[in-house]
Amino acid sequence: MNKEIYGLVLVGGESRRMGRDKAMLSYDGKQTQLERTAGLLRAVCPRVFISQRKAQSFPTPEGTEPLYDSLTDVKGPLCGILSAAFAYPEADWLVLACDLPFLQVATLEKLIHSYREAGTGTPLSYQSSGDGMPEPLCAIYPSSYAQQLHEMAGKAEKFCPRRMLISLKAPMIEQDDPRSLDNINTPDEFNAVTQQ
């Protein structure tokens, strides 16, 4: 039986290259990137959570819930992913970074449809249009893989979700729009998008 798929927005990063929090940037002057990303997930998931470190306190967009990192032996995005999976093992997780301004609902619908259609219960991601590798921060992570991913991280002391998807030989699907998963990391990249 297919589990429900909950949405998770990752906002716990330090945004060093941007110099300010990427989740709070606005590309249209109307909503923050956090609000936009949460809205995309609300369109396809019954519950949406905002993943963050305990030291942070992000505003919780309407229809979302905060979810704080609960693991001390894992770092980065993987900590948020595993914290969610351990907290709500009854669901699988559609995980998104908060810095994808070109992402659309159709991209998420295709990912969910492909995951359901495959019926294998294995992680699924998009293939990067840049390097052909997995896009780990627009991907579905089954909760049933949480313990395995936690153990993999502990043995290798590496916390990169992309490397883990590669190690698992997780399947990938192609993007319909090659720009859909472009992320924005620097002030120059942000300015280039807002001035288009």
CA neighbor of 185 nearest in space, from 10, 17, 6:
17
Please tell me the distance from the alpha carbon of residue 33 to that of residue 100, in angstroms, as a whole number: 8
The distance from CA 32 to its chain's CA centroid, rounded to whole angstroms, is 17
pTM: 0.91
CA neighbor of 79 nearest in space, from 160, 24, 139:
160
- C-beta separation of 168 from 122 below 8 A: yes
For the chain, give the mean pLDDT: 89
Which tens digits make up the pLDDT trace of 104-154? 999 999 999 999 999 989 999 999 988 999 999 999 999 999 999 999 888
Which tens digits make up the pLDDT trace of 159-173? 899 999 999 999 999
